[in-house]
Structure 1
Amino acid sequence: MITPRFSCSQTEIEVIVKMYCPSVRASDVEINIDETLFSVHVNPYFLRLSFPHPLKGDEDASASYDASSGYLTVTLTKETPGQEFKDLDLLAKLLAPRPTEQQQPVIEVLSSEDATADAENDIDEELAQRAQQLTLKQQEILRAAENDWQLPQEVPEPLPQLKTAPDYRYGFMDMHTGYLRHVAHTENEVNELGGDAETCPPSERRERRLKHEDEKWDEEYYMADYVEDEYIQELLHWQNPHTGVSDDDFQYSEEENATMLRLPRKEYLATPQQTHNLYLTLVTLLFSYAYDCRTTQHDPTPESAWTLSVLTPAFSALDPAPYSADPPPPNLSSFSTQELSATFAASYRRALAFPLYRSWKLAERCRADVAALLGRGKRVVARCLFEMKHVLDHHEVYYVYSKVWTDDFCVWTLAYASDETLRELAAAVKLLNMEKAMIGWDIDDLEGSAREAMEREPDSDDESESEIERMLPAPL
């Protein structure tokens, strides 16, 4: 079945779904409405949408087909007139499967009778017989329970992860495996795990990543960009176009709508801890996007796919957040300063060790971009992910990171991310105070030495010029 291009709009009492279905027979249109679930089938097209609020039944829906334009328009009636259906422009959210509802088992009582005294006596005798069969330790526990004694309790040790194969999963919510099985035979320059990408455990991935970053750190390279920073100053003053558009003017393009139609349609049953970690990993993706966007002036180059991949720890080393050793905050919808600092420290280390421009000020400016993008909500964040996906999809090697990370993040952001949480995260990122000591490379000392050297240079130049003037002959 083919998913047609479509758009949704609404009035006070209706929801209008407009689909492009050229060369079909209008008499073959089949419409089905099940509360919030709407589906339409006309061979070879099929569309199923999940709306946020219920609709009236099939008898209240109508459809019209314009053969000249190829558009099928279905008008649905809201069950509650005047109710606003939000996010009708988020096509990926409408296409996502309807969340499953876990219902409690329903028991129908056909008849009931009061227990007689004889029945109660029989039960007491049976319990007494069972108690005699208990061990002494079990009897002590029962007596303690009756007297409400405080028995010693121990938390059982967690069981080790059951592994039936040598491979470890990776990617979005550890849902993927097998994509990097032959990575040793490809020209994947950002892969830091080598041929062990499929079998390397998560703890070793982090160790290898940190070791590789320390090896790639180049003091002379960093100092050269620190002293000769004319072009970096130009990058710092560039304005990201996605941070200046108002919400009223926001609208997805036809290409972005087509991208949403091609996204996978999955239901993500994430725990609160997994959701918390996904927000942190999203920060690292946006940092990589902000760096490439700023250094290319929003005009991706053939190197952009490499830049996006090498700056993202979840791509290069399959090492997503969290990076902090401290426990997460009790309220998993909030983000502590420690875990945000550790998250950005991981991105800063890579931005100072791998790409063309290595500047602390540039990294700080990219963090400000991340805060601004998060503050715009999931629509703008999804647009950035679409652009990131487009760059990766068109690379012959790094497209794999789009499959295991970016595709799922696009769907999750549109269908499951909260604008309120994104804005709270934006405020925390904006107020974050990143210190150079967090990186671990003595950047403060290096910059201090460079400043002292630059302060001494004018004096030496003046002395040289005075010496040259004394050596010149006197004017006639």
Structure 2
Amino acid sequence: MLTPRFKLTQDENHVYINVHAPYTNIGDTEIDVDGENFLFVSSPYFLRLRLPGRIIENERSKGSYTCDSGDFNLTFDKENPAEHFENLDMITSLLAPRDIPNLNPNLVESLEEDGITIEDSSENDNGNSYAYGFADKVTVEFHEIGSEFPQIFELKVPERVPKEERNGLRIEYEDSKFSSDHYLADFFDEELIAPYLAAKMHWNDPEFNKDADFNEEEVAVLKELPNKHYLFSKNEHKQVLLGLIDILFGYCYDKRTTLNDSNVESSWTINKLSSTLSWFCSFKDMKQVLIACYRRALVYPIFRNFELCHKVKNDVASMFRKGKKLIIKCMIEIHQMFNTSNDARYILNQLYIKDYLVFLQKCRTEEFTELFNNVTNIEIVKGDLDLDLEELEAAADMVQQEETEVMENEMAVRMASMSLLGLNKNNDIYEEDSDEETDSSSSSDSSSDSSDDSSDLDSDDDPS
């Protein structure tokens, strides 16, 4: 059976359900409403929803079918008029009944009824120190996954490297890959970096609508995801949120350095800049994850600039300020990039992105506000990165100053030489002119004498 594309909207007293089922026989369609439960069956389609509030089927209920579009348009009354149904646009979280595990209520804090439960203690932390994937829940599904996908993962055998050792190994590897020449070239080439520092992300445009509906492609992804209930320890829940920051930093870096026009290299960029996706790392606090993001942004991509990292951090914060719908849309875009990547990055969707798409639909709005504040309030300085950036810049400035002084000295010597040469030439000209003047005087004198002589001859020849 196929899950049809669907959309739910509401007003004060009604819920409107649109089901897109173009290849069905309307005579075989069954629709059933029972409080929070909605059922639509029409071969080859099957749709079962669990709504965030109760609706009723009565004499005011309406239904119609549009043959041209293949859409069922249904209207039901809310059992409690004026009740607002939360998250009607969170497609996956509406699918299938919720499966709440049998837990001791004294040990858990339920964030929302739709499927995130956090134990109040850390006793439920995954006991496997070699696990990885979303919330470190993957333990035995893959064998030597890093070796099988070397173009995706830098850690080759996560099942042999304990989680607490991965960040240390990652840092050592990044140190070996860091290019001081590349960093300094981008540091001094202000014209190269300027367009990317000045870029504006599309979600910060005044006309951007953060509440826009999911488009058809986005709905197609969300409706195919399995609805899950997540049981986390507090540490696991925190790691999931920090991993989200890590992934979105790579996404925002790509958007800024492509001027909002992602390309065939974008999936590589997001994958490479994320320690979560490249090293199966997890983090303990916000500053640790942001330092990792900055480091990788100065080691791997084509543009390696510290101020650019600041801009990207602010982009991440602005995403959380817009709310979870934007973040879900961005994660869907990442999912699509990985699915169409030539380097089999679909495996990252299996390990991380699909679960993030389900998880995000269940998060509270307050969590995104808290993440916005945390990202905004953390300040990263160059010394935090342990890449000796300030020392490199100081040494480069000194070399540049010395080169400038040498050039200035060479120029001064050349100017002095030209001045002396000019002076010599002027002296030569003056002396030649003097000689010519002397010769001219002599010639004039000779002419005068000759003239006198000629006068004498004429006088002698004059018959008078």
For Structure 1 versus Structure 2, the TM-score category normalised by the shorter chain is 0.7 to 0.9
What is the alpha-carbon distance in structure 1 between the residues aligned to residue 4 and residue 211 of structure 2? 26
In the TM superposition, residue 387 of structure 1 has moved relative to its aligned partner by 1.5
What is the alpha-carbon distance in structure 2 between the residues aligned to residue 465 and residue 103 of structure 1? 82
User: AA paired with 2:277?
Assistant: F
Aligned partner (choices 362, 366, 377) of residue 323 of structure 2: 377
Structure 1 length normalisation: TM-score? 0.77
Where does residue 294 of structure 2 map in the other structure? Answer: 348
Where does residue 195 of structure 2 map in the other structure? Answer: 234
1:252-331 to structure 2, matched below 5 A, reads: 252-322=214-284
User: AA paired with 1:29?
Assistant: T
In the TM superposition, residue 182 of structure 1 has moved relative to its aligned partner by 5.6
After TM superposition, the structure 1 stretch with the greater mean CA deviation from structure 2, 201-210 or 179-188, is: 179-188
In the TM superposition, residue 419 of structure 1 has moved relative to its aligned partner by 1.7
Give yes or no for contact 1:389–1:407 (8 Å, CA) kept in 2. yes
SS at the partner of 1:262? coil
1:11-410 to structure 2, matched below 5 A, reads: 11-57=11-57, 61-95=61-95, 97-98=97-98, 100=100, 102=102, 168-177=130-139, 180-181=142-143, 183=145, 186=148, 188-194=150-156, 196-244=157-205, 245-247=207-209, 250-322=212-284, 339-395=285-341, 396-410=343-357
Where does residue 429 of structure 1 map in the other structure? Answer: 375
What is the alpha-carbon distance in structure 1 between the residues aligned to residue 298 and residue 141 of structure 2? 29
% identity of equivalent residues = 29
Give yes or no for contact 2:93–2:227 (8 Å, CA) kept in 1. no
Structure 2 length normalisation: TM-score? 0.79
After TM superposition, the structure 1 stretch with the greater mean CA deviation from structure 2, 45-54 or 252-261, is: 252-261
> Any unmatched runs of 5+ in structure 1?
106-157, 323-338
SS at the partner of 1:434? coil
User: AA paired with 1:426?
Assistant: F
Give yes or no for contact 1:96–1:267 (8 Å, CA) kept in 2. no
User: AA paired with 2:87?
Assistant: D
What is the alpha-carbon distance in structure 2 between the residues aligned to residue 311 and residue 461 of structure 1? 40
SS at the partner of 1:53? strand
Cα distance change on mapping 1:464 and 1:369 into 2, 3 Å: same
After TM superposition, the structure 1 stretch with the greater mean CA deviation from structure 2, 235-244 or 454-463, is: 454-463
Cα distance change on mapping 1:25 and 1:412 into 2, 3 Å: same
**Corresponding residue pairs, total:** 403
In the TM superposition, residue 449 of structure 1 has moved relative to its aligned partner by 2.1
User: AA paired with 1:368?
Assistant: N
SS at the partner of 1:27? helix
SS at the partner of 1:55? strand
Cα distance change on mapping 1:28 and 1:57 into 2, 3 Å: same
Where does residue 439 of structure 1 map in the other structure? Answer: 385
What is the alpha-carbon distance in structure 1 between the residues aligned to residue 104 and residue 266 of structure 2? 50
User: AA paired with 2:85?
Assistant: F
Where does residue 413 of structure 1 map in the other structure? Answer: 360
SS at the partner of 2:65? strand
What is the alpha-carbon distance in structure 1 between the residues aligned to residue 245 and residue 382 of structure 2? 19
After TM superposition, the structure 1 stretch with the greater mean CA deviation from structure 2, 254-263 or 374-383, is: 254-263
Where does residue 3 of structure 2 map in the other structure? Answer: 3
Give yes or no for contact 1:38–1:48 (8 Å, CA) kept in 2. yes
What is the alpha-carbon distance in structure 2 between the residues aligned to residue 434 and residue 51 of structure 1? 43
What is the alpha-carbon distance in structure 1 between the residues aligned to residue 283 and residue 295 of structure 2? 14
Cα distance change on mapping 1:359 and 1:386 into 2, 3 Å: same
SS at the partner of 1:37? strand
User: AA paired with 2:352?
Assistant: W
User: AA paired with 1:100?
Assistant: I
**CA offsets 1:310-358 (integer angstroms, 9 cap, x no match):** 1111111111222xxxxxxxxxxxxxxxx22112111112111222211
What is the alpha-carbon distance in structure 2 between the residues aligned to residue 444 and residue 175 of structure 1? 40
Aligned partner (choices 404, 410, 416) of residue 464 of structure 1: 410
User: AA paired with 1:296?
Assistant: T
In the TM superposition, residue 180 of structure 1 has moved relative to its aligned partner by 4.7
**CA offsets 1:226-265 (integer angstroms, 9 cap, x no match):** 1223221221111110223544663332222222223333
What is the alpha-carbon distance in structure 2 between the residues aligned to residue 159 and residue 277 of structure 1? 14
What is the alpha-carbon distance in structure 1 between the residues aligned to residue 51 and residue 92 of structure 2? 12
Give yes or no for contact 2:125–2:236 (8 Å, CA) kept in 1. no
Give yes or no for contact 1:188–1:398 (8 Å, CA) kept in 2. no
Cα distance change on mapping 1:43 and 1:186 into 2, 3 Å: same
What is the alpha-carbon distance in structure 2 between the residues aligned to residue 436 and residue 96 of structure 1? 49
CA RMSD of aligned residues (A): 2.8
Cα distance change on mapping 1:443 and 1:262 into 2, 3 Å: same
What is the alpha-carbon distance in structure 2 between the residues aligned to residue 208 and residue 185 of structure 1? 16
After TM superposition, the structure 1 stretch with the greater mean CA deviation from structure 2, 455-464 or 67-76, is: 455-464
Cα distance change on mapping 1:187 and 1:11 into 2, 3 Å: closer
SS at the partner of 1:269? strand
